[in-house]
């Protein structure tokens, strides 16, 4: 407790029991908050809810796939379920999760700011997200969408299921994403505390910044795309209708121009979290700060040049196939740079094997395999064999779950003490992490094999000889589900009954740990003047960071 009390005295902070959590306890004080921390917590609650909802849909799919023939429900319901699973997981969980929940909470703290640049816009982004999410779920449940989350034309323009409200819901959520992106970019540009130049910005902030750039540039194209599909359904404009001279593949160009950078929206924040956690739990400076920072921007930029690799077998020209195939290889370079940096950071570090570090291990292992299978898929000749099989499904789940959700869980466990001032049970944390990593591998490694052997994705029925692997995959999914449930239980227990922790339980050098845990509403009484680099664990590094501004 001593260090935190000294820090508190330096900051002139209020006593431990006052914080953003206690500053106004009515419902309205939360619903009408301008505080980025409260907005972050509200986002966290919402995205966790949708994570579980998407997980329920996933388990329903996996239950059905225990048997090759009809089982549990019919094919139309199955189609709706995988659409539900995809839309919920991607638009309602993955895109907003780390940026809007943890980015909102931690980013201003990390740059010594009192709030994000546009606090009311921040609150608005939450309500817009909620409105779009509710509309989307309502639409999907009330007889909507059997198209898959990718809405390919001409099926999406002609399917009798109700698509319009779902498209509208996605459109609205896109606005939330853009608002968040604009807010974060402006925050990082204009609200950095004295002493925090661009090369002193923490690596998580670099990740969020790169993510925000993608959000701002890519999401409008998604908005237009769903608008065009909606108009074609309702008014028959025929932009994608071959009978009118339209081109269905044009939809795929539009859709993937957003959706490929979207996967980097999902993965870059997770990488940022891992950068933070690797430095903290190895107690070592990042192996190459600039390399990690610039590779974030590199991924954001190059990620826009690769969308055509989703169209390799759709009828895209051979020329474009070649171009996109080559360009897709470049993205792997930046990811590899990061992986080598993380490993280099951990090498000869003083490893503290806490729950976040367990997720780091899972992340690294699974990101490498997910990324390598991605590069393999980007090879046109191989993709001809693997496209629309379970190989692709396994690849993107390795990244989406194996990397992004591990990053999310690492963030959740790393910043839980910061956000709520309490610690969770470390033993159960490691148990859950093991279950999740094991369960994940048991779920998705069989799917690589299934896909390579030719099982197509999104199929309600499959040939008998695929059943064994499907059963294995479902067993793994059940383990995975148990892992999540355990996490939910011990974290909720910790929220209410967990032991109160000191200000910096991880002894991290991150700037966000310079405030009390949980922080007061206004973050800092005096804006700090930072004189050291982030993640600086050299023993001779200067320790004092505050001067009067």
Partner 1 sequence: MTENGEHHSALPYFIVWVALVILTVTTYRTGRMHLGTWALPLALTIAVTKSLLVILFFMHLWEQKGANRIVIGTSFVFVALIISLTVADVATRFPLATPAGAPFGSDIPAQLEEPAPEYQPPAGKIGEPPRGVPEPK
Partner 2 sequence: MSEAAALPPGEHLVHGTDPHLAHHFSSLERQVDASRLGMWLFLSTEVLLFAGLFTGYAVYRYSFPVAFAASARTSEIWAGTLNTIVLITSSLTVALAIHFVRAGRQRAAVVCLAITLFFALAFLGIKAIEYTAHFHEHQLPGRYYRFEGVRLPGAEMYWALYFLMTGLHGLHVVIGMTVLAVIAWRTAHGYYSAHYYVGIELAGLYWHLVDLIWIFLYPLLYLI
Q: What is the DSSP letter of 151?
A: T
The residue count for binding partner 2 (CB under 8 A) is 50
| CA gyration radius, the chain | 23
The binder of 319, among partner 2, partner 1, none, by C-beta within 5 to 8 A per type, is partner 1
| Identified binder of partner 2 from the candidate list 17, 120, 348, 496, rule CB under 8 A | 120
Tell me the closest approach of the beta carbon of residue 320 to partner 1, in angstroms. 4
Query: Is residue 113 close enough to count as binding partner 2 by CB under 8 A?
Result: yes
Query: Do the beta carbons of residue 403 and residue 367 sit within 8 Å?
Result: yes
- Residue whose CB is less far from partner 1, 324 or 511: 324
CB of 190 to partner 1, least distance (A): 9
Separation CA 52–CA 488 (nearest Å): 10
Q: Which of 118, 152, 164, 305 binds partner 1 (CB under 8 A)?
A: 305
Torsion-angle region of residue 521: left (phi > 0), alpha (psi -120 to 50) or beta? alpha
User: Residue 364, Cβ neighbours under 10 Å: how many?
Assistant: 20
C-beta of 526: minimal distance to partner 2 in Å? Answer: 9
x-or-dash string of contact with partner 1, 188-227, rule CB under 8 A: -x---------------------------x---x------
Binding residue for partner 2, selected from 73, 237, 459, 488, defined by CB under 8 A: 237
Asked if 330 is part of the footprint of partner 1 (rule: CB under 8 A), the reply reads no
Residue 70, binding choice from partner 1, partner 2, none, Cβ under 5 to 8 Å by partner class: none
Q: What is the x/- site pattern for partner 2, positions 487-526, by CB under 8 A?
A: ----------------------------------xx----
Q: Is 8 in the site for partner 2 (CB under 8 A)?
A: no
Of the pair 317, 461, the CB lying nearest partner 1 is at 317
Whether residue 518 has a cis bond before it, omega within 30° of 0:
yes
Question: What residues pair up with 422 in beta bridges, in sequence order?
Answer: 500
496 interface partner picked from partner 2, partner 1, none, CB below 5 to 8 A per type: none
Interface residue with partner 1 among 57, 102, 304, 440 (CB under 8 A) is 304
What values do phi and psi take at 363, rounded to 5? -55, -50
Q: How far is the CB of 186 from partner 2 (least distance, A)?
A: 5
Distance CA 158, CA 240 (A): 11
Minimum distance of partner 1 from residue 229's CB (angstroms): 17
Smallest gap from Cβ 318 to partner 1, in A, equals 7
Does the protein bind partner 1 through residue 297 (CB under 8 A)?
no
Please report how close the Cβ of residue 243 comes to partner 1 at its closest, in angstroms: 8
Task: Provide the token pair at 463.
Answer: 């040939």
445 near 395, Cβ under 8 Å? Answer: no
Block residue for tokens 């640049």: 117
Cis peptide upstream of residue 8 (ω within 30 degrees of 0): no
481 binds partner 1 (CB under 8 A): no
Q: Does position 456 bind partner 2 by CB under 8 A?
A: no
Interaction between residue 315 and partner 1 (CB under 8 A): yes
Name residues contacting partner 1, limited to 233-252 (CB under 8 A).
Answer: 242, 245-247, 249-250
From the list 502, 483, 208, 507, the residue with the least C-alpha distance to 354 is: 507
Using CA atoms, how far apart are residues 144 and 165, in angstroms rounded to an integer? 8
- Residue among 507, 515, 548 nearest 13 (CA): 515
Residue 320's binding partner among partner 1, partner 2, none (Cβ under 5 to 8 angstroms by kind) is partner 1
E strand spans, 81-164 = none
DSSP per-residue codes, 192-241? PPTT--GGGS-HHHHHHHHHHHHHHHHHHHHHHHHHHHHHHHHH---TT-
Sign of CA dihedral 158, 164, 170, 171: positive
515 close to 19: Cβ distance less than 8 angstroms: no
The CA distance from 44 to 216, in Å, is 22
Residue 272: CB minimum distance to partner 1, A = 21
Residue 515: phi, psi to the nearest 5? -100, 160
Applying CB under 8 A, which of residues 9, 197, 235, 319 lies at the interface with partner 1? 319
**Helices and strands (H and E) in the chain: how many:** 19, 0
Give the residue, chosen from 148, 165, 195, 220, that forms a contact with partner 2 under the rule CB under 8 A: 220
Give the footprint of partner 1 on this chain (CB under 8 A).
189, 217, 221, 242, 245-247, 249-250, 253, 257, 304-305, 308, 311, 315-320, 323-324
Give the footprint of partner 2 on this chain (CB under 8 A).
23-24, 34-35, 113-120, 178, 181-183, 185-186, 189-191, 216-221, 223-225, 228, 231-232, 235-239, 241, 244-247, 250, 253-254, 257, 521-522, 527
């Amino acid at each position: 407790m001593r260090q935190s009390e000294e820090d508190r005295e330096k900051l002139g902070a209020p006593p431990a029991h006052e914080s953003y959590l206690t500053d106004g306890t009515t419902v309205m004080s939360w619903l009408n908050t301008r505080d980025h921390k409260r907005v972050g917590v509200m986002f966290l609650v919402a995205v966790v809810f949708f994570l579980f909802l998407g997980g329920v849909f996933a388990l329903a799919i996996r239950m059905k796939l225990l048997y090759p023939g009809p089982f549990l429900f019919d094919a139309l319901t199955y189609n709706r379920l995988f659409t539900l699973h995809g839309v919920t997981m991607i638009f309602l969980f993955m895109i907003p999760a780390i940026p809007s929940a943890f980015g909102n909470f931690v980013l201003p703290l990390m740059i010594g700011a009192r709030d994000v640049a546009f606090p009311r816009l921040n609150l608005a982004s939450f309500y817009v997200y909620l409105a779009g999410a509710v509309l989307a779920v309502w639409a999907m449940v009330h007889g909507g969408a059997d198209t898959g989350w990718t809405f390919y034309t001409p099926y999406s323009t002609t399917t009798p299921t109700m698509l319009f409200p779902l498209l509208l819901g996605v459109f609205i959520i896109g606005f939330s994403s853009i608002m968040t992106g604009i807010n974060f970019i402006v925050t990082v540009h204009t609200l950095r505390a004295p002493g925090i130049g661009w090369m002193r910005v923490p690596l998580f902030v670099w990740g969020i910044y790169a993510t925000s750039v993608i959000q701002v540039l890519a999401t409008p194209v998604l908005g237009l795309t769903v608008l065009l599909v909606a108009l074609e359904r309702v008014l028959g404009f025929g932009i994608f209708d071959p009978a009118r001279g339209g081109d269905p593949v044009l939809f795929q160009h539009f859709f993937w121009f957003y959706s490929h950078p979207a996967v980097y929206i999902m993965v870059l924040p997770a990488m940022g979290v891992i950068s933070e956690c690797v430095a903290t739990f190895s107690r070592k400076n990042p192996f190459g700060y600039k390399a990690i920072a610039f590779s974030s921007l590199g991924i954001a930029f190059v990620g826009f040049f690769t969308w055509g690799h989703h169209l390799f077998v759709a009828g895209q020209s051979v020329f474009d196939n070649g171009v996109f195939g080559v360009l897709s290889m470049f993205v792997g370079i930046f990811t590899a740079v990061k992986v080598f940096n993380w490993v280099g950071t951990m090498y000869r570090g003083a490893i503290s094997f806490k729950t976040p570090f367990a997720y780091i291990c899972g992340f690294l292992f699974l990101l490498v395999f997910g990324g390598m299978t991605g590069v393999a898929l980007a090879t046109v000749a191989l993709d001809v064999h693997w496209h629309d099989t379970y190989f692709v499904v396994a690849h993107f789940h390795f990244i989406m779950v194996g990397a992004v959700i591990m990053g999310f869980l690492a963030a959740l466990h790393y910043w839980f003490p910061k956000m709520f001032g309490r610690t969770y049970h470390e033993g159960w944390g490691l148990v859950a992490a093991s279950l999740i990593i094991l369960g994940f591998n048991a779920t998705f490694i069989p799917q690589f094999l299934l896909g390579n052997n030719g099982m197509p994705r999104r199929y309600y029925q499959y040939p008998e000889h695929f059943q064994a692997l499907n059963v294995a995959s479902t067993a793994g999914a059940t383990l995975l589900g148990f892992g999540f449930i355990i996490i939910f239980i011990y974290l909720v227990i910790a929220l209410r009954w967990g032991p109160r922790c000191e200000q910096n339980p991880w002894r991290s050098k991150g700037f966000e740990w310079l405030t009390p845990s949980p922080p007061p509403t206004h973050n800092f009484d005096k804006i700090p003047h930072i004189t050291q680099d982030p993640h600086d664990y050299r023993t001779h590094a200067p320790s004092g960071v505050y001067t009067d501004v």
